[in-house]
Amino acid sequence: MEEIKIYVAQKLKEALNEKYNLELSYEEIFSMLESPKDKANGDIAFPCFRFAKDLHLSPNVIALEIKEELSAEDKIEKIQVIGAYINFYVSSGKITDDILGKIIEKGQEYGSTNIGNMRNVLIDYSSPNIAKPFHLGHLRTTIIGRALYNLYKELGYTPVGINYLGDWGRQFGLVIEGYKRFKDEYELEKDPLHSLSDMYARANNLAKDDEKVMDLARENFKKLEEGDEECLNLWKYFRDTSLKEYYRIYDLMGCKFDVYTGESEFSVSERTNEVIDMLNEKGVLTESQGAKVVNLSENEPPCIIIKSNESTTYALRDLASILWRARNYDYVKSIYVTSYEQIHHFNQIFRVAKYVVDEKYIEGLVHVPYGMVRLKTGKMSTREGTVIYLQDLIDDAIKKSMKILEEKNTDVEDKEKLAKQIGIGALVFNDLKHNKIKDVVFDLNEVLRFDGETGPYVQYMYARISSILKKASFDKNNIKDSSYEYNDVETEVIKLLGKLPNVIKEAAENYEPSILTRYIIDVASAFSTFYNSNTVLSEDENEKIARLKLVYGAGVVIKKGLNILGIETPEKM
Ligand code: ARG
């Protein structure tokens, strides 16, 4: 399609010059071209609104006049004016050949570009709070963040995945207090994170009724910030133990980070002092009830930088880390993926950051909020014991997948591996299927279904494609020439495959992996319609070759799409 757009832009450039003496650059015209949503309006559209004022003509008249300068030929079947638009109808044969030709040439590279020019895009994701087990809520940032990472990579950026652990803050004063009081009651080795979070919850409860306990917790955190050895050792133990558990889960999910850092690296230190100095220099740091704050606007609470007991805040630590990220990575984008509960936090620190880093780094800051995960049975709550821990959920999903494979009598070598690929893939797919800001309602039986808009369904479609290609010994480097005109159903599938490059771009630019997920669902279902009504391995050699090319193309697109989302694509299922 790209080539045809280039061709159309060239023709329009000539026509505009010829008719109105307008000297528009080819790039400018190219960027004005649209893809009509409705197929009835052709494949490429050129809007004429912007010329109306200068030419003192209505957009419709301009469109008609330009059209007179153009003639349908070769690649273009028909040109038609509808309102202010000139619509181009590309010859089907040309489109299908172009798209499949490109996919066959590029293979799994199809859809990748280098518009990013290797520039750095930072993605702060997952970033769990230590001393707590990983629960279902953490799943979303991990999955969305990873998908964004892969999307930006496809666009030729250098993504940097940052896991910024929540490993500092006054809650660790309470964890330490809980640990000191209750550690003997737990089998820490066996289940360290549940034990620690339970000790924390108990200390927290005590502190609610007993101010003295709260004071001790505050004291612990103060000591921690001052580098007290006992507190620091305990904290290190919490951190190491937590990381060990998280690594296991990341490993299971195939998730990797380029950088592990955390709030602790941005607590009382040169790094925070520098930010405080900058805020002081700009004269924006003021006293308020013993705390140091930056006032933003009349109608909102100020951004608290230092608490009245001199502790650093989440905001200050984030500001120090923005400065560090700007210096270390000279980023063009720095993305933060968290639940929507933190919208206010990021909104504030991004505004305060203008006192700390250059304008260009402010422009690159993006908060990507997402909705909550809810169980079909109701909201998740720690208090009511309805929290789902990720490890349990993953185990469950794998177990259930295994059962399905056994029922289906699936014949593969490594059934356990396949059950893992399906189970985890199903969780990821379900998570990325919804617009990210929407709350996700969760039902394991639903997400594991082999039919419907699920991960297993799309994986299954891919496995089927692989087996067709294998059976036909399809070799993309050795395709015989053939002449064949694709029918409507086939043309539809191929045109859809042609959209992948754009879909990747759109999903990345909108920070919305669901755009890609929905697209994969569309491809899989269009492919299934084709497959159910056409014989691929047909007697007619021309037909067979042409259809195998289509099957191959669909395979490339589904595999690529799923892999970007972080989902594996087994060849056999
Ligand atoms: N630890 C936080 C949480 O679990 C998320 C951190 C997000 N990143 C950041 N730079 N503040 O809610």
Residues in the chain, overall count = 573
- pLDDT above 80 (res 107): yes
Q: Which atom of ligand 1 is nearest to the CA of 314?
A: 11
The first and second tokens of residue 285, run together, are: 């740091």
Cα 129 to averaged position of ligand 1 atoms, centre (Å):
8
Note whether 8 and 88 are within 8 A (CB).
Answer: yes
Q: Please check whether residue 508 is in contact with residue 152, taking contact to mean a CB–CB distance below 8 angstroms.
A: yes
Question: Which phi and psi (to 5°) does residue 90 adopt?
Answer: -80, 140
Supply the Cα-derived Rg of the chain in whole angstroms. Answer: 29
Burial class of residue 148 (count of CB atoms within 10 Å of its CB; 0-12, 13-18, 19+): buried
Residue 540 pLDDT > 80 = yes
Residue ranges lining ligand 1, Cβ < 6 Å: 124, 127-129, 164, 166, 318, 336, 338
Q: Which atom of ligand 1 is nearest to the CA of 124?
A: 8
What was the pLDDT predicted at 311?
Answer: 83
For residue 324, which of 283, 268, 265 has the smallest C-alpha distance?
265
Task: Spell 415-454 as b/e; 16+ CB within 10 A means b.
Answer: eeebbbbbbbbbbbbbbbbbebeeebebebeebbeeeebb
- CATH no. for 2-90: 3.30.1360.70
pLDDT given at position 234: 97
- Distance from the CA of 314 to the center of ligand 1, in angstroms? 9
Q: Which atom of ligand 1 is nearest to the CA of 342?
A: 12
- Specify the residue with its C-alpha closest to ligand 1, atom 4: 128
Q: What is the mean pLDDT of the chain?
A: 93
Ligand 1 atom 11: residue of nearest CA: 318
User: What is the predicted pLDDT for the residue at 269?
Assistant: 84
| Closest residue by CA, ligand 1 atom 10 | 318
Residue range(s) occupied by CATH 3.30.1360.70 in the chain: 2-90
Contacts of 536 (CB under 8 A, 6+ apart): 468, 472, 544, 547, 548, 551
pLDDT at 380: 53
The CA-atom distances, in angstroms, between 335 and each of 4, 213, 313, 381 are 35, 38, 21, 28
| Whole-number pLDDT of residue 136 | 79
Domain with CATH 3.40.50.620 in the chain: 120-370
- Round to whole Å and give the CA distance between 571 and 470: 10
Which pLDDT tens digit goes with each residue over 42-94?
999 999 999 999 999 999 999 999 999 998 877 888 999 999 999 999 888 88
Supply the CATH classification number for the domain 120-370.
3.40.50.620
- In angstroms, what is the span from residue 292 Cα to ligand 1's centroid? 22
- Sign of the dihedral through C-alpha 213, 218, 220, 223: negative
- Say how many Å lie between the CA of residue 195 and the centre of ligand 1: 22
Diameter of the chain by CA atoms? 88
207 Cα: distance to centroid of ligand 1 (angstroms): 25
Assess whether pLDDT exceeds 70 at residue 353.
yes
Tell me, in angstroms, the distance from the centre of ligand 1 to residue 250's CA: 17
For residue 352, the one-letter residue type is V
Going from the Cα of 84 to the center of ligand 1, the distance in angstroms, rounded, reads 48
Residue 265 has pLDDT above 90, yes or no: yes
3-class DSSP string for 21-45: CCCCCHHHHHHHCECCCCHHHCCEE
pLDDT at 227 over 60: yes
Give residue-wise pLDDT tens across range 154-208: 999 999 999 999 999 889 999 999 999 999 999 988 889 999 999 999 999 999 9
Q: Is CATH 1.20.1420.30 correct for 402-565?
A: no
CA-nearest residue for atom 1, ligand 1, is 166
Most informative mutation of 127, 168, 264, 341 for ligand 1 (most atoms within 8 A of CB) = 127
| Distance from residue 358's CA to the centre of ligand 1 (Å) | 23
Reported in sequence order, the residue ranges of 263-403 that DSSP labels E, i.e. its strands, are 285-288, 291-294, 303-306, 333-339, 365-370, 373-375
The token pair at 152 is 């930006």
Average pLDDT over residues 302-327: 94
From atom 5 of ligand 1, which residue's Cα is the shortest distance away? Answer: 127
Ligand 1 centroid–CA 402 distance in Å is 35
Question: Which residue from 125, 323, 342, 349 has its CB within 8 A of the most atoms of ligand 1, so it is best to mutate?
Answer: 342
pLDDT digit string, tens, across residues 444-499:
889 999 888 999 999 999 999 999 999 999 999 999 888 899 999 999 999 999 99
Are 262 and 164 in contact by the 8 Å Cβ rule? The answer is yes
Q: What is the mean pLDDT of residues 552-559?
A: 98
pLDDT score of 379 more than 60 = no
Distance 137 CA to ligand 1 centre (A): 12
Structure token digits, residue 489: 């159903």
**Whole-number Å distance between alpha carbons of 230 and 234:** 6
Q: Is 162 helix (H, G, I), strand (E, B) or coil?
A: strand
pLDDT band at 3 (very low <50, low <70, confident <90, very high): confident
Instruction: Note if the pTM is more than 0.75.
Output: yes
Confidence (pLDDT) at 50: 94
Give Cβ neighbours of residue 481 (< 8 Å, ≥ 6 apart).
none
Q: What are the start and end residues of each CATH 1.10.730.10 domain in the chain?
A: 402-565
pLDDT of residue 387: 66
Contact between 47 and 32 (Cβ < 8 Å)? yes
Instruction: Tell me, in angstroms, the distance from the centre of ligand 1 to residue 361's CA.
Output: 19
Pocket perturbation via mutation, ligand 1, pick of 164, 303, 334 by most ligand atoms within 8 A of CB: 164
Looking at the predicted structure, is the pLDDT value of residue 384 above 60?
no
What are phi and psi for residue 365, nearest 5 degrees? -80, 130
Q: Which of 167, 314, 338, 367 to mutate to test the pocket of ligand 1 (most atoms within 8 A of CB)?
A: 338
Q: Which of 157, 125, 120, 122 is nearest to 142 (CA)?
A: 125
Please give, one letter per residue, the 3-state secondary structure of 446-509: HHCCCCCCCHHHHHHHHHHHHHHHHHCCCCCCCCCCCCCCCCHHHHHHHHHHCCHHHHHHHHHH
Can you give the pLDDT at residue 287? 96
**Helix (H/G/I), strand (E/B), else coil: 433:** helix
Q: Which residues contact 477 (CB under 8 A, 6 or more apart)?
A: none
Ligand 1 atom at minimal distance to the Cα of residue 321 = 10
pLDDT at 381 over 60: no
Ligand 1 centroid to 186 CA: how many Å?
Answer: 28
**Unique residue bearing structure tokens 């909108």:** 510
